[in-house]
Chain A
Amino acid sequence: MSGLDQIFVWIGHRAAGWFPASVQPLVSAVLAIAGVMAVFGTCFALTTLAERKVLGRMQNRFGPNRVGPYGLLQPLADAVKMLTKEDIVPFSADKTLHFLAPLVLTVPVWLAFAVLPFGRNMSAINLDAGILFFFAVGSASELAVFMAGWSSQNKYSLVGAMRAIAQMISYEVPLVLSVVPVLMLAGSLELNDIVAAQGTYTFGGLARWNVFTPWGLAGLILFLIAATAESNRSPFDLPEGESEIIAGFLTEYSGFKYALFFLGEYLGLFAVTGLAVTLFLGGWHAPFQWLEWVPSWFWFAAKFGALIFLFIWVRATLPRLRLDQLLNFSWRFLVPLSLINLLVAAAWYWTGAWKFPVVAPIRWLLCAALIALPYHWLGRALRGAMPPPRKYIYAE
């Protein structure tokens, strides 16, 4: 492997080598933690800027461009502003919970990064049940959001918290279910194994990513929709639905606690995006065999950036759903579809044993039909009886 590919691993080993052998495991763990925090902390700052820039461009305006060249120092200015703002705790608030909520949101989210493989040999820990760990720590955010909403003793906060709980619980189910086919086919809960299972090439050098299979494509879309809802982003940003309930559970937060909530939400988004890359987009593998020479961490970053851009794009495009529509969408559409996707994955597995010429397109189309038809029917059922198209009469 090229030196550039393993450069971060090498740096880590060399740095740990300076310490006595007894503390080397600890030092390398600390280095991994520091690396993840530094990279994704910077990524948070840059994403807030990129989001505002991209949103601005999509909305015929410039976005931040006053602080530093091209507005690049805007995150710093924001941080200074957040830190110097008065930290207001409402008089009637439950002060302990109000203080704890941003921490409870932010701390477990960092843990989720521990199991993600960012490149070849670049995951902080290799857990046998990596995905279980990921979802376990990820679900702590529900608790934090409700703590924030309840402890603020504000009506908007309470409504926002109730919305958040209903939404996050509803979308946790399709989020996890959409991952299960990957586990079934890879036969492992460990993320490195799942990446390795997508590491071979076919058709003259095209990667065998999960997304290139019918169940993988459907799974990725389901996963991304559920992830959007889990991270409270538009069009599922009801918990902080600005036009309805001011800022939802964030209403009574200001200053750095507010920034911490922001950090937690973005990190949660990064974590699920990283998981989507790992599970469906081949992790750190190159899309084509002849591109293998590019460092693996570059591929991870590129796919990661593309998905983040997708999230921003969606945010600039879609209006918000209503709560009942949101819940219906999850329980009557996403959950059944992700269950059906399990069957499709099973069908894909069985048809893998078929041996006759031109099997690949037939197999692909068969499995695609197995998911496309339920998609069509469920969509029709969700939409209800379509009202006849409206006719607007004109009076002369």
Chain B
Amino acid sequence: MSASTLPSELAEPASDHQLLEVSLGPQHPSTHGVFRMDVSLDGEMVVKLKPVFGYLHRNHEKIAEKCSYLGSIPYTDRLDYICSLTNNWAYAMTVEKLAGLVAPERAEYIRVILSELTRLINHSALAGFLLQDMGALGTPLMYAFREREKILDLFESLTGARMMCNYMRFGGCRCDLPPGWIEQTRSLVANFPSFLDEFEALLTGNEILQARTEGVGVLTPQLAVNAGVTGPMLRATGVNYDIRKVDAYGVYGRFSFRVPLGERGDVFDRYMIRILEMRESLKILEQALRDIPAGPIIDPKAKLRNLRPKPGEAYGRIEGPKGELGFYLISDGGPNPYRYRIRPPSLINLTILEDMCLGQTIADAVVILGSVDIVLGEVDR
């Protein structure tokens, strides 16, 4: 604001010019929900940035402690509402660890298929949103959403819901695949590369996209590791850390796929890593759809209602589309967890926002935020 309208005590005496303090959000077109950035601007340059979150806090962790183990599964859908199935999986896996259940092989394959489809949804939508933040008026986003719709149709035919799937259970999955589902998925997987090629032809070589992303929001591997950043954000800095490889949870050990690693850790790398990861996901999907065995889809020992695990604790983690998604549960032998805690990748990846944004322009800050890939449902819980 102009000097005349500011109270004199707010003026900085040492400086000959004042900073413009802007509160971006919680109602702002590109904060991806109700997220706020308190930004101090010197002209267009960001000199201070304070992320403020909590506007979407809904007490998820405490509610889950009052809820039965089964009752929390629909809640986990609402964490990262773009990727409900991976949330389901992480939670189901933790309860399985806690209660000593083992999901049948077919269920594990279904989980892998659904989780990789979710990754396709997340990454293509992210690329669209990122371009939206750059000002590409919706065209990439609509192209991405066209593909997302096809995958959501598959989810709908399997689980009955498009986004809030509520599908996985500890010990397996809720229901078996409907007839023809595998074939539909196979044809989707076969057609997806042509979408990726089209998308890349539109975007990756675009001069404006390169100019807007190269060298913007550089994250060093040291800072990324120290801050606990995971997922594509971390791999874009060149650190080889993919929990699908590290833990080989589920049946991931049986598939051959590669982990793309970035070079410089800027926004372009983060965009590109996600595109490359989608191509690897397609490989996993092809193999899983080929190898999926017949059999039961849920552990017969699993007691969905009134599950009372022995006292103990468990931490289960998966490689969610956004990074390491972990659930930590303590059981005291009762019907509901004594302690329920989530490690949300969005929140942890967001903590280094200021480090990436300082010295960049306000337009870059928006793009950097977009490249972090946050969903506020998960950040605020």
Contact = CB atoms under 8 A, between A and B. Distances in A.
B287 interface: no
Interface string B296-324: 00000000000000000000000000000
Given A159-B44, A159-B362, A396 B258 contact: yes
A395 interface: yes
A234 B262 CA distance: 30
Contacts of B228: none
A387 B2 CA distance: 41
Contacts of A317: 136, 139
Contacts of B208: 235, 318-321
A322 B211 contact: yes
A320 B260 contact: no
Nearest to A322: B363
- Category for how many chain B residues contact A: 35 or more
Contact of B5 (A92, A163, A319, A322): A92
A390 B272 contact: yes
A78 interface: no
B259 A55 contact: no
Contacts of B30: 242-244
A296 B134 CA distance: 42
A244 B362 contact: yes
A393 B258 CA distance: 9
B272 A321 contact: no
Interface in B337-355: none
Interface in A51-101: 55, 58-61, 92
Nearest to A328: B211
B139 A320 contact: no
B361 A156 contact: no
- Category for how many chain A residues contact B: 35 or more
B133 A156 contact: no
A319 B273 contact: no
Contacts of B21: 155
Contact of A395 (B211, B240, B366): B240
Given A242-B135, A243-B30, A320-B136, A390 B240 contact: no
B212 A322 contact: yes
Contacts of A394: 258-261
B259 A395 contact: yes
A244 B212 contact: no
A55 B137 contact: yes
Interface in B122-148: 131-139, 142-143, 146
A163 B260 CA distance: 39
Nearest to B369: A243
Given A234-B137, A319-B134, 14 more contacts: A55-B137, A59-B138, A59-B139, A153-B5, A242-B30, A243-B29, A319-B212, A322-B361, A324-B361, A390-B268, A393-B260, A393-B261, A395-B258, A395-B259
